[in-house]
């Protein structure tokens, strides 16, 4: 017993000693390792578009311990004057967002031109960013510039600024490298995600002018292009009519879709990271298999003269889009040209026009794809004939594009078989340039719809949001499985009711803003159709947004089709 007691009392001492030394060594260890490198870092990132949001999400997950991130939108100079409000130690801001404030930051450091190799951040031997002058922190100038290169090409720069509390250079460098690494990974992923998920949004400007507002899935009003981009849309399609106005300047309707509208839509799409598909109708109003009216200004021209005019119009329009900073991914030479284009019906004349348009695209937008667009795959033998004629007449194009409306255009199997034949025979890429489906039989704007409960058309899916989603999902998976299948574009997904409570109220908006399919002013140009049936929106029940501008679940199909990141 006595021995045990003795041991017990000593054990107390041993334990006390062990405890004390544990704390002592712990304290010493902390003193050694607690350099400023271990300082907590909060990163502020601008929230300009979907890419920034994605970057923020990735960084939040993956940044090393100690680096926290705050994301704010919109960016303002006041944030820099009151940096402590955001409680961020580092600020990451996109070049395009800060461009307007450059004068406020003095001196703005010179970039790559004066950089020495020692100032470059390298990842796997590749330059990914540039250390700017840390000494300039007090002046408000950027401390690091992160440019990321993909396949030798520099992409947009992000700038990294110090917060109020100055960090040592190493911490800034580490954060910069970390961010650059993530930017590069994101960009590599984006490069591999090259399937085109398009939405035609040609009527958006006229819709907004009519008072239409668009919301995101959280019910928050925001730019509809941002909502589309956030849901996996990669391309915005826009039609271009030469001169959709009467002599007094009244618009024909259908979005009054002239070049100016295309530029505005293209700029907004580009800002959200999407590319534009330019859809030249070479008409002053709707062109489709049943009508290809020649523009007023080209009336009476011979096919040769018309080809010259078409070349110039294409070249000048694309140049204007480029000059306005629009990213052009694809250009259509004609819309639903079933052996009929710009008033011409012979293959000689049609292909002459196509070659003229194509050469203008190659000249101004060498990086864009050239598409020829047809409709009615259900008509036996026609697609094979079109493809053969393009080949025989040496039309230079990349994409054989088809409309596919399940109501009228036969089965998906038939479409897949036709497009497969063309892609394998002629080595062309293929896509569905227009598709849509009704999510309801209800009309919402007092102007009857093309598809209603009594329509005698094919109805492979129910007229519901689920039916509409299935229709789009099946078109996408079909095209993805076709060799050379590169994309699917949903037609006029943003064209909804202008929201008035009577026909008269809506009619006033259709006439003044061009938000209906045709205004009365179009009668002079298109007397047999617009002249008789002008009015509102005949496809409001096929949009991707409900009558109040809130997205339908069908809009989620694009990102679902892409699937989770590997």
Beta strands in 365-409 (DSSP E): 369-374, 399-403
Cβ distance to Ca ion smaller for residue 143 or 540: 540
Q: How far is residue 291 from each of residues 23, 109, 338, 404, 505, measured CA to CA in Å?
A: 87, 57, 10, 18, 30
Cβ distance to Ca ion smaller for residue 49 or 445: 445
**What's the CA gap between 231 and 557, in Å, rounded?**
8
Is 367 part of the annotated catalytic residue set? no
Q: Binding mask 438-457 vs Ca ion (x if CB under 5 A, - otherwise)?
A: -----x-x-x-x--------
Q: Does 537 bind Ca ion (CB under 5 A)?
A: yes
Q: Could you tell me where the DSSP H helices lie in 129-274?
A: 169-192, 204-209, 224-230, 259-271
Q: Which of 207, 398, 470, 540 binds Ca ion (CB under 5 A)?
A: 540
Is 336 part of the annotated catalytic residue set? yes
As measured in angstroms, the least distance from the Cβ of 539 to Ca ion is 7
Q: How many CB atoms lie within 10 A of CB 12?
A: 9
Cβ distance to Ca ion smaller for residue 545 or 558: 545
Stretch that binds Ca ion, among 280-288, 351-359, 382-390, 539-547 (CB under 5 A): 539-547
Which residues have a Cβ under 8 Å from the Cβ of 436 and sit 6 or more positions away?
A: 405, 490, 491, 492, 493, 539, 542
Q: Does 207 bind Ca ion (CB under 5 A)?
A: no
As measured in angstroms, the least distance from the Cβ of 402 to Ca ion is 26
| Number of residues engaging Ca ion in binding (CB under 5 A) | 6
Cβ distance to Ca ion smaller for residue 415 or 513: 513
Stretch that binds Ca ion, among 243-251, 295-303, 471-479, 530-538 (CB under 5 A): 530-538
Residue 25 DSSP SS3: helix
Cβ distance to Ca ion smaller for residue 283 or 449: 449
**What's the CA gap between 220 and 216, in Å, rounded?**
5
Q: Does 515 bind Ca ion (CB under 5 A)?
A: no
**What's the CA gap between 514 and 519, in Å, rounded?**
7
Which one from 336, 344, 492, 511 is the annotated catalytic residue? Answer: 336
Cβ distance to Ca ion smaller for residue 224 or 543: 543
Beta strands in 271-386 (DSSP E): 275-280, 328-333, 369-374
Residue 446 DSSP SS3: coil
Size (the chain), residues? 566
Cβ distance to Ca ion smaller for residue 90 or 438: 438
Which one from 181, 434, 492, 511 is the annotated catalytic residue? Answer: 434
3-state helix, strand, coil in the chain (%, to 5): 45, 20, 40
As measured in angstroms, the least distance from the Cβ of 451 to Ca ion is 10
As measured in angstroms, the least distance from the Cβ of 497 to Ca ion is 7
Q: How many CB atoms lie within 10 A of CB 3?
A: 7
Residue 195 DSSP SS3: coil
* Encoded tokens for 146: 């992160």
Q: Binding mask 398-437 vs Ca ion (x if CB under 5 A, - otherwise)?
A: ----------------------------------------
As measured in angstroms, the least distance from the Cβ of 540 to Ca ion is 4
- What residues are annotated to the active site? 336, 434
Residues forming the site for Ca ion (CB under 5 A)? 443, 445, 447, 449, 537, 540
């Amino acid at each position: 017993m006595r021995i045990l007691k003795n041991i017990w009392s000593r054990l107390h001492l041993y334990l006390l000693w062990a405890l004390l030394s544990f704390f002592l060594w712990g304290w010493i260890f902390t003193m050694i390792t607690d350099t400023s490198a271990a300082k907590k870092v909060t990163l502020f990132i601008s929230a300009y578009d979907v890419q920034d949001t994605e970057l923020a999400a990735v960084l939040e997950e993956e940044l090393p311990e100690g680096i926290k991130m705050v994301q704010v939108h919109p960016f303002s100079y006041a944030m820099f004057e009151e940096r402590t409000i955001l409680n961020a130690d580092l600020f990451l801001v996109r070049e395009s967002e800060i461009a307007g404030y450059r004068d406020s930051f003095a001196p703005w450091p010179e970039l790559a031109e004066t950089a020495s190799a020692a100032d470059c951040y390298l990842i796997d031997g590749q330059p990914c960013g540039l250390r700017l002058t840390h000494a300039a922190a007090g002046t408000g100038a950027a401390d690091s510039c992160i440019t990321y290169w993909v396949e030798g090409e520099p992409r947009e720069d992000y700038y990294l600024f110090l917060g109020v509390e100055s960090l040592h250079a190493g911490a800034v460098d580490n954060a910069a490298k970390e961010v650059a690494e993530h930017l590069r990974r994101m960009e590599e992923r984006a490069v591999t995600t090259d399937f085109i998920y398009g939405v035609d949004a040609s009527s958006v400007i006229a819709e907004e002018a009519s008072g239409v507002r668009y919301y995101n899935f959280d019910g928050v009003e925001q730019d509809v292009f941002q909502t589309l981009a956030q849901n996996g849309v990669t391309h915005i399609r826009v039609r271009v009519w030469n001169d959709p106005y009467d002599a007094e300047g009244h618009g024909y309707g259908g979005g009054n879709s002239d070049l100016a509208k295309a530029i505005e839509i293209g700029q907004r799409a580009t800002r959200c990271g999407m590319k534009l598909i330019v859809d030249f109708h070479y008409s002053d109003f709707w062109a489709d298999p049943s009508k290809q009216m020649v523009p007023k200004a080209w009336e009476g021209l011979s096919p040769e003269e018309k080809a010259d005019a078409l070349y110039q119009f294409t070249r000048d329009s694309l140049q204007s889009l480029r000059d306005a900073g629009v990213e052009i991914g694809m250009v259509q030479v004609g819309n639903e040209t079933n052996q009929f284009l710009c008033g011409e019906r012979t293959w000689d004349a049609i292909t002459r026009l196509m070659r003229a348009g194509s050469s203008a695209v190659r000249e101004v937008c060498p990086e864009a794809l050239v598409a020829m667009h047809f409709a009615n795959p259900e008509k036996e033998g026609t697609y094979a004939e079109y493809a053969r004629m393009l080949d025989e007449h040496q039309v230079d194009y990349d994409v054989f594009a088809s409309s596919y409306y399940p109501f009228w255009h036969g089965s998906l199997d038939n479409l897949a078989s036709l497009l497969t034949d063309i892609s394998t025979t002629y080595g062309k890429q293929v896509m569905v340039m227009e598709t849509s489906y009704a999510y309801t039989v209800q009309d919402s704007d007092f102007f009857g719809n093309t598809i209603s409960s009594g329509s005698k058309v094919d109805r492979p899916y129910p007229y519901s949001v689920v039916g509409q989603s299935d229709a789009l999902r099946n078109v996408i998976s079909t095209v993805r499985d076709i060799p050379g299948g590169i994309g699917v574009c949903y037609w006029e997904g943003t064209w909804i009711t202008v929201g008035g409570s009577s026909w008269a109220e809506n009619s006033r908006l259709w006439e003044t803003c061009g938000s209906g399919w045709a205004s009365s002013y179009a009668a002079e140009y298109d007397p047999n159709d617009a002249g008789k049936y002008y009015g509102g929106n005949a496809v409001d029940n096929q949009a991707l947004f409900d009558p109040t501008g809130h997205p339908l679940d069908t809009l989620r199909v694009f990102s679902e089709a892409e699937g989770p990141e590997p």
